[in-house]
Structure 1
Amino acid sequence: MQHKKSVMRNKFASLLVLSLVTVVLSITDPGDLDVLMQFRDGLENPELLKWPENGGDPCGPPSWNHVFCAESRVTQIQAQGMGLKGSLPQNLNKLTMLNNIGLQRNQLSGKLPSFSGLSNLQYAYLDYNNFDSIPADFFDGLDDLEALALDHNNFKATTGWSIPKALQNSAQLTNFSCMSCNLIGSLPDFLGSMPSLTNLKLSDNKLSGEIPNTFNGSVLQMLWLNGNQFTGPIDVVATMESLTVLWLHGNLFSGPIPDNIGNLTLLQDLNLNTNNLVGLIPNSLANMKLDTLDLNNNQFMGPIPMFKASNVTCASNKFCKASQGLPCSPEVMALLRFLRGVNYPSRLVSSWTDNEPCNWVGIRCNGEKVSIINLPHYNLSGTLSPSVANLDSLSQIRLQSNNLSGPVPDNWTSLKSLETLDLSGNNISGPLPKFGSTVKLLIADNPLLNGDKNAPSTGDNAPSRSSGFPTNSRSTSSKGSGSSPTDSSVESTEPKGSKQSTFVSIVVPVASFVVLAFLVVPLSIYCCKKRQDSKLAPSLVIHPRDLSDSDNAVKVVVASNTKGSTSALTGSGSASRNSSNIGESHIIEAGNLVISVQVLRNVTKSFAPENELGRGGFGVVYKGELDDGTQIAVKRMEAGVITSKALDEFQSEIAVLSKVRHRHLVSLLGYSIEGNERILVYEYMSQGALSQHLFHWKSLKLEPLSWKRRLNIALDVARGMEYLHTLAHQSFIHRDLKSSNILLGDDFRAKVADFGLVKLAPDGEKSVVTRLAGTFGYLAPEYAVTGKITTKADVFSFGVVLMELLTGLMALDDGRPEETQYLAAWFWHIKSDKEKLRAAIDPTLDIKDETFESISIIAE
């Protein structure tokens, strides 16, 4: 009996010891447990975590789902992509041993708790939630932080916020991502000098200013600054030799691409789309073996080089030729190098396009050779280029009253036809080269030339003051006919203050003006009379307007009646007509490409049926191919549909696409207006419309779209529509978003097309339209019933497209059972029933559980 009692005592002692060991090894720190309980209590749907409601031990055994521990302390919380709703506990930073938290892609909201003092934290992923504020001390004490993602949280929506300096103390940080999180202000200096930072993604915020010089030589490998409001040059990025991906698109960067961009030998992806970058493409860039290079929608000039990059797009620039490898004329290149020397002033950049310099502002020609550069009072700064010496027919150079500096190039003395060189009123420095005795040299008011012993002082080269009376840069002269521009300078060898000099400098311009008035006014009346009496065939004339006008545009006049009368239509669509006009005049932004119908006939083989891509309400779309192999899509309005409505849509398409440029909106490459022809030319999208791949893939012998491709397409469309609604310089409503208006390229990336029904978004909450636009099945109910139009109408249409992507069913199909004919209404009823939802998913999709979870989230 005694033995049995002893055995029982030993067993009890053993169990007690074992229990105590278990308690010691597994009971979670009470403070950590309290934080986790508060985390669960703050959720609207805590059941998704599958944590026990009462009791239990987060650190186990068994441990709670999504929680990881070391001994008794919580070290990780991994609950990403679960659809969690609610807020986080504000004392989350009491989990002092936390080193990894993954809560991305949920629906968490409210104030983000401070992470101050989490000195062990290495990885924090909080992106794609709905947090609305971030505390000022969030970044304090994050000594070991290596990766932080805060993307797509609208922090401080009304005021915006800036990255605190405390982040610079996280010396181990390698990845920082804060895309679409409402950042404002300038790019913090310290980000450029952080020793470990290799990936920096700050896309789609409201950051402004220039890239700081502290980024010079940065170790960054990936830099995303796209979709902000950055300005200034991009020279500093050429020193960041570790870069592999550089995205600067959708900003306001200006100036040329730096010549040393070729130093970025590791770079694979460069996107400069939609900026104000100008100038010649450096040879070093052309020779870079990039995977992707996007130069669209800038003001690049000169020839398009033969790029070595695998995928290059460079549309909507100011190149002299349309194809790679074609040279500009020598005179164009000489003038563009002059333009580079004076820092590409915007007034000239907007005019100096194509390969015909005789039409450029400030340039005159004798025959087809440049004879005069006339750019006084243009606020030019920079230096004079030796390239001007290549303009061998140049007779006058008039650059007075600017801010030019540096010497006059020695080789300008080789200009054998030069008669007048007016550099007065600048900051030219010496020594001056020796020009021939026939050259009138005007160099007064250049402070750095005062006392220059080498400056000529007598004879025809005597320094003289220009009167500043500018010659009309738009007029032309012909030396052979004996006419020449009025000389605006007055020679004088007398000292300043001479009464005679003052008298002459006043009287000569006035007398010249009077003489010109007597000559020009009768001549103008005569020309107008002749123009009214002449009969003109249907034609197209382009008149560049005065570039001193800030609203500079190109006026396209199409004379359609026998008397050549026209009507005016402004860019906003307002029109004024006289009683007999049947022609049109459109104001289109400078830079649009006007293409002759004959060229389009050639590239489409006279609009051959075998080149037909599709038909629509507007007309027929044809495939065309340029001489260099570039493929284009040519949309031709059929004669039978040329109604006022169709013309409105044609003009709307041009007006909108000349103002909005985005990688997920189809680019308009050109247009043609000749007689009854109305033609639009777009980039060619080789995979056609999304609708073909969703609804007709079998008959067209296509592969069904994978779920990953459908997700990418949805994201592409969302980004394009976001730009149209909020990021463009004006807000637009598409009004006809549908799967047949979403086009796919070689890589199945999507672009929104067909802007004929686009409407400028109202300043107020809504706008009432009298004529319904769009396609049934995609129309928002409130728009269809009331006619009240907002950007929400596009959001509804996008939702219908998402339903099509999920189900593979058309938005409206009377061939389906009655309850499923209208996709939006049917889907709304079944989306919350997981079994019905799973049955509704396109059967071509290979649905795994995790994929179905993401589909369920999208469906909601």
Structure 2
Amino acid sequence: MVDLRFLWVFVGLLTLAFRVSDSQNRTCNPDDLKALEGFVKGLDLGSIDGWGGFNSSSSSSSSDCCDWGGVQCELGKVVGLDLANKSLRGSVSESLASLNRLRFLNLSSNSLHGAVPQKLFALPSLEVLDLSSNRLSDGFPATIQLPSMRVFNISSNLFNGSHPVLSGSTNLTAYIVGFNLFSGGIDASICVASPGLQVVSFSMNILSGGFPSGFGNCGSLRQLCVDSNKLSGELPDDLFTLSSLTHLSIQDNHITGTLGDRIGNLSSLVQLDLSLNGFSGTIPDVFGKMQGLQFLSFQSNNFSGPLPRSLSMLHSIDFLSMRDNSLNGLIDLNFTSMGRLCSLDLGLNQFTGLIPDGISTCVGLKTLNLARNNLHGEIPESFASLQSLSYLSLSNNSFTNISSALAVLQQCKNLTSVVLTMNFRGEVMPLDGVEGFTNLEAFIIANCQLSGSIPPWLRGCAKLQLVDLSWNHLKGTVPSWFGNLEELFYLDLSNNSLVGDIPKSLTQLKCLISHNNSLERSSSLDFPFFTKRNKGAKGLQYNQVQSFPPSIDLSDNHIDGPIWPEFGNLKNIIVLDLSGNNLSGTIPGELSGMKSLENLDLSHNSLTGTIPPSLTSLNFLSSFSVAYNNLYGLIPTGGQFLTFSNSSFEGNKGLCREHSSTCPSQRAPSLASGDTMQRKKNKVAIAGIAIGILSGTAFILALAYIFVMRIFARRKTNVEDEEADDDKHVEMSGSCMVLLFNKDSKELTVDDLLKSTDNFDQANIIGCGGFGLVYKATLPDGRRAAIKRLSGDCGQMDREFQAEVQTLSQAQHENLVLLQGYSKIGNDRLLIYSYMANGSLDYWLHEKFDGGCTLDWDTRLHIAQGAARGLAYLHQSCQPHILHRDIKSSNILLDENFEAHLADFGLARLISAYDTHVSTDLVGTLGYIPPEYGQSSVATFKGDVYSFGVVLLELLTGRRPMDVCKPKECRDLISWVFKLRQEKREAEVFDPLIYDKEHDKELMWVLEISCQCLNESPKVRPTTQQIVSWLDSITLNEQSMK
């Protein structure tokens, strides 16, 4: 990232110069006063604190603008305006362009939105323009004429299109346009127009194409940042002629090729970051020419070969990362000459040999990662001198002598995190001789096949937050003293040979009972931790201890006894896994007290009884299993239980779902006793039962024959008769009450609903779904409503009904459909919604062929904005948060004013603010399903964002996501649009009904937003709140132009 210290010093000196040069004659020029008045009128509050005449509460009543805060004058003319971080909201008025002597304008760190008036880019005297950290949007003129410009900073906004080019700004020193939405290529001609540039930043945009040549013309360039874009190809030769360059950041692009010795020409570099690219070949041995380097990262590339020995000549190096490459050979560096080294990361390579003893001479070393290599031997005794060492990972190597390792490391008094996983194979866990580790917070020594027992010396590590001893051969019991560790929130003892009861003290872990603010210590350290959930899975990576979900995992041991009801006290726990043990007794209903629980696995035990219905109140529960126990009775149907698959309950012959015709008795099986004498008595009973079964078989078969014949006869009746029978069934229950959410509404019965739909007459059908039809209804009080009728005894149908009721009863927003009430009658489920007079967006875009009015662009944009607000409410404002999981145009309904309302929550899932995903089957609708859903079993907020991006494309193009009637090359809407964008043919994307020059910029902007939503990488997609902000800014821009 760009180091802006030089820039801020420069800007600060320039600001001071303006203030010192103020003239004795400070009376404000009337034209300038009028210009400032126009600027204030464009703000939402219409005032600025400290500016007289605009704010009655202002401490200044002066009408002389030269006396106002942030205003600098010379001879009565405004030359400087510094309003940074003043909480300003609104738009930037064109009136500022009337300040014809203005040299300094700083509006940074406010909440300004809309477009920047183009006349502002024609101020002949303007030297410093800082609009950074606002919500300004739209594009720029093809060229900008600012002949006096020295600092141009528009970073951290929502600008789009091509980045601006300042022609004629020969004095330009800093050009900073990072953290925007600029696309297209980088225009290096800025170095022709402004050869004196010293700071250039394009960071965090969507710039693509090759890395351009031309920066060699900026002979004074000191900082060049193009990180986090989509640049490709190889680095141009003239880049390596910039001998004054101190900071070069190219990370997170698609740059390829080799470096070669030319990198050594950049002899002034202090920071070099080429991480997250596709560089290959060997790393050139030229660092003897670059001895000023303090930060060097080649992480996550394809470099191979040995470490260049000249790295030892970097006497000032502070941070060195070569992680995640294919480097090999010995770690053959002279660390004695690298005394300032604080962070060394050589993990995920193919290094061999021993740990160099010389590392211990780096006494300031705080972070050391040598994990995932082929190193062997013992940890050097000299490591005891690393008194600053805080984070150490040596996992996935072949180190030996765990007793010596712990004896050495305990002397590193500041050590907080130790990761030794997959080493010391088959050794014995030392039980004594370890008394240090007073500051230890994370201790991970998993998958080492260690024997012995859980070491008692861990009880002295009072600051422990995370303990992972999983995948070993540890025996004995789970120590009760774990419950005394006040900061412990993650305990993984899974896949060992532990026995005995679960210590009740685990239900008293303070960090899992109440929130512990001490665990929120912020850290920007990127230090990888891995946990292994099962033999076939890859390790899950967390980059900070605080990223781990609060968990207790005792799975796959030999633990017996009961599940303590007191586990319900752990209100902050996210994962509780007790599977694969010998637990007995019942599942306590008190577990419903674990209000943050997302993952509960009690499978493969010997539990009896029923599943407590109280567990349906666990709103965040996304993964649940009680498979292979001895449970019986009905499976609860409320809450998140509506979406759990049968695999969560298999292996329990006594369990059944509601409405199942084969549901056995809810009484406990008679053979559940463990008493020996009782089992002998049961043998006699079994014999009697067997005789009874044999004698009754003929009778049962006879009844079955008659039953089948009757079913066969019924199948001969036509469909209309079946529908009539269904209606009669409803009529029989016509007196049943309808539950209404609005207390002021008049009571309704099912008989009222029958009358309002003409007994669910086909003429009133206005929609259909997977499990039923939607009917238009006129209620007794004259209100119109839509009634969804779900019919049948399918478990999924009932789950959809429950999901709709639960979701819409908790989510109330103007852009969601309003659920007015519901009723259950036999196998029918009725849902009563507010009537949407204009049907669905799908109808207006794809099915309306009867002529008449169509959706113009303003209406489509309005629909997109409303739908985005509804989705943002579900994701971020509603408590608990909700994943919709089926965003599509047919689930966006339109009222009489074409206001958008999200509908159909049959697949929705509640989710906690702590997590970002839920486990799921592949759900959604073809054409809208994110690509990652086909690769994993989790649904995320960013999955909904992807689906919303498809809807935006439908609004722009008027086409369906998948259209088999189109030619093969354009059946897939997304691929077709991306192909045209790549060929610079965006104008061909848009629906001819809405495309015109008046809306060209708005259409292009929404297209860009859509493509952001459709990014293949979920982490790159915007949040729904960002989408709302971007879409709303379009309307604000339009209003500001009128």
When the two structures are superposed, what TM-score results if normalisation uses the length of structure 1? 0.39
When the two structures are superposed, what TM-score results if normalisation uses the length of structure 2? 0.33
